[in-house]
Structures are given as C-alpha cells and as structure tokens.
Amino acid sequence: MAAPAARPERGSVMAAPTQRAAGWGRRLCTAAAPRPWRLFGAMCLLRLPRITQPLEKEEEEMAALMGQVEGGLEKSHYSDHEIRKLEEEEQLRRRRESSFDDDEAPSKTLVMAQDLEEKWEQKLLRFKAAPRITDADKNNNRTSLNRRLDSNLMLLVKQKIGNQELWLLPQVEWQPGETLRSTAERAMAAFLDHIQAKILGNAPYGIYKYKFPRAIRTEDNVGAKVFFFKAFLQSSDLSQAELKEDYLWVTKDELGDYLKSEYLKKVNRFLLDL
C-alpha cells in the first residue's frame, strides 16, 4: 500500500487564506474610514508687472557700453532703415551731380527715409511717459491694482478660521466629485466675480498642512491640507468684478506683514518675483 500523503502542518498552508482575508478586511476598513484631514484648494492669483524694473548700476553701465559699441567704436551692421537712407542719399548726390531735371522725373510721391525720421522725431516730442510712481503708491493704497507697477501683486483675502480672522490666499474646502484645481477655481470665484484669469496647470504648486487646536482635534478630524494653485490675472480692469471680502494686492516683500510665518514659508517656495 502507498504511504498516506503527509498532512500539512497546522498554521502553514491552511492558514494562508485566513490571513489574506484578514488583510483584505483591513484594507476595506481603511478605505471606508473617514478622512482625518480636511482638504482645501487655494488660488495664488497674480497681477504681472506692467513696466520694467529700474536698471541696476551694472545694467546701466552695460547699456552705456553697448551704446558706445553701436555708435562707432566697433563696426556694426546697419539696419534696413539705415541702408535705405544711405541709398537714398547716394541717389540724391548723383542726381545733383548729373544734368537730370526734376521736371522730367515721374510724377510719383515718394516718402524718403529722412521724412520718416522727421515724423518720428515730432512724435517723440509729443510723447510724455506716464509716471512710475502712482497715486496709489504715494498713499500706500494696497487695495489698488495700480501700484508697484514693476512687480508682481498677489491677492490676499481675510477669512475666518475658527475664532480667528486671518489673511490668506483665497481658499475653500474640497467637495466630493471635484478636482483640486476646480476647488481652487471655486475659491477664486467665491471672492472675485467676473474675473479673467489664466490658470497654470492641473497640479498644485505647493501644500500647507496644519493640525487643529487640541480642543477641537479628534481622530477623524486631525487638521487640514491646503493645496496651492497659481493663476495670472488677464485684465487689470476690475470695474466689472465684485470683491466680496476684505482684500489686498501685495508684493512678495509685503507678504510678511500679513501671513503667518509657517504659511509664508510654503508660499515663498513657489512664488517668484521676477
């Protein structure tokens, strides 16, 4: 007779399905558990510079040097306008030296390069540059977009967090079915209606995580995670827009007057003031 098959040891093969089932159960329980972190979407809305920044000393020196180079210290190529002007001057010189009669010339009205230059000079004399320092700069009116024209401006709004009123980027809580980007878009619309803005990408630029005070913290309500998105203001005319809360337009170096230090660190990581 054949020897009977050896029985598997207890807890080895027969225990594996039980262990796998227990593992699946733990995963299902975890998936069904409530989220301990509340999710928020925030929008960093920027008004880009309208004018160039003043030149630094080194930049002024380089600009002067390049002007000297182009002015004749070294040979440089002529522009199309300069070539045209030289050709016309040569034609006029030959015409004066020859016996060509102007009455025999074809009846055609020509605009010479010299005529264009005189027209441009008259236009330049009538031009008056707008001041770099505006009335909003003089009055330190930080609710105006017409200030700090050579820098980025960021929108801050005052929001109630718990019992505190804090200056923050516009933010709202995530709702089921939303993407984080759509949450950030809703945050922007919640504080500023009828706005034209270009949103940059679908992924957040930064995240800020904080825990709630111990008095209100629970296992199912530990704290909040704020995901930051960026957008560029397309139009500086906000006459049709309606700001619903206290707001400010501030530069990067002014953020420290309003934002808490830890929050400011996270914002500065993705904010460039070019």
Q: Predicted confidence band at 44 (pLDDT cuts at 50, 70, 90)?
A: very high
Beta-bridge mates of residue 208: 226
Q: Sign of the CA dihedral 139, 145, 146, 150?
A: positive
Beta-bridge mates of residue 243: 192
Chain segment 228-268, per-residue pLDDT in tens: 999 999 876 665 556 666 899 999 999 999 999 999 999 99
Residue given tokens 């809305």 in the structure block:
45
Chain segment 124-140, per-residue pLDDT in tens: 999 888 888 999 999 99
Beta-bridge mates of residue 223: 37, 211
In 3D, which of 239, 271, 210 has the Cα closest to residue 45? 271
CB 249 within 8 A of CB 241: no
Residue type at 97 in one-letter notation = E
Query: Which tokens go with 15?
Result: 């225990």
Chain segment 145-177, per-residue pLDDT in tens: 899 999 999 999 999 887 888 999 999 999 999
**What single DSSP character describes residue 197?**
E
Q: Taking the model in full, what pTM does it have? A: 0.69
CB 223 within 8 A of CB 211: yes
Beta-bridge mates of residue 247: 157
User: Following DSSP, what letter does each residue of 165-177 receive, concatenated?
Assistant: EEEES-EEE--TT
